[in-house]
Amino acid sequence: MTIDKEKSPKSPILPEDKELQSLNVKRIGDDFYCEKVILENLDLNQNKATDVFIDSSLLQKIELTGSVFKGFKLRDVIIDKSNLSNVNLDEANFDRVKIISSRLTGLSLIKSKIRDTVFQNCKINLSLFRFSKLKDVCFDNCILLDSDFVAAELENVSFLQCDLTNVDFSGAKINKVDITGSKIEGIKIASEQLRGLIVDYSQTAYIVQLMGVTIK
C-alpha cells in the first residue's frame, strides 16, 4: 500500500501577481466574498462572521486569533505566515489550499471537508479535526502534538516529518495514511485501524506494541 501520488494535493490555482488586487479590511462580516485579492498585514482578531468565501487569493501575515467563522470556505488560497490560533472554523470547506509557516494552535475544524490541502511548517498542536473528512491532504513538517482526529475520515493523507505525539485517531477511518518519519509516541489508534497506515521500519516496534504484542 502506497500513497496515490496522482491524487496528491493539487496546488492552488492563483492568477499572476499583477492580477491580484490589494484589499484592506478592518473586519470580515457576514456573507463576505472576495476573489483574486491579497490580504496582507491585517489584524482581524476576535472576528465573528457567517458564510465567508475566499477564492483565488493570497493571505499573508494575517492575525485571526480567537475568531469564529461559520460556513467558512477557501478555494485556491495560500495562507502564509499567519496566526489562526484558537480560531473556530467548524464545518469549513477547504479545496486546493496551502497553509505555510503559520500558527494554528487550538484551531477547530470539526465536521469540515478538507481536500487537496497542504499544511507546511505549521504549529497545529491541540487542534480539532474530529468528524472531518480529509482527502488528498499533506501535513509537512508540522507539530500536531495532542491534536484530535476522533472519528475523522482520512484518505490519501501524508504526515511527513511531523510530531504526532499523543494525537488521537480513535474511531477514525484510515485509508492510505502515511506517517513515515514522524514522531508517533502516545498516539491513540486501535489495532483494526493499523492496516490503513503506512509506516517506516523504525516505527514498527511501537506499532507492534499497539497491537498488544510484547517484544522481549
Write down the mean pLDDT value for the chain: 92
The answer, yes or no, to whether residue 1 has pLDDT greater than 60, is: no
Judge if pTM exceeds 0.95. no
Q: Are 140 and 122 in contact (CB under 8 A)?
A: no
The confidence score (pLDDT) of residue 113 equals 98
Beta strands in 81-204 (DSSP E): 93-100, 113-120, 133-140, 153-160, 173-178, 197-198
Q: Which residues contact 7 (CB under 8 A, 6 or more apart)?
A: 136, 156
Residue whose entry in the numeric block shows the C-alpha cell 511501537:
206
The DSSP H or E segment spanning 209 is: helix 204-210
- Residue 15 pLDDT class (50, 70, 90 cuts): confident
pLDDT over 60 at 136, yes or no: yes
pLDDT for 18 equals 79
With 80 as the cut, is the pLDDT of residue 205 above it?
Answer: no
Q: Which fold has domain 30-210?
A: Pectate Lyase C-like (2.160.20)
User: pLDDT-derived band of residue 208, with 50, 70 and 90 as boundaries?
Assistant: confident
Q: What is the pLDDT of residue 203?
A: 81
Q: What is the distance between the terminal CA atoms of the chain, rounded to a whole angstrom?
A: 29
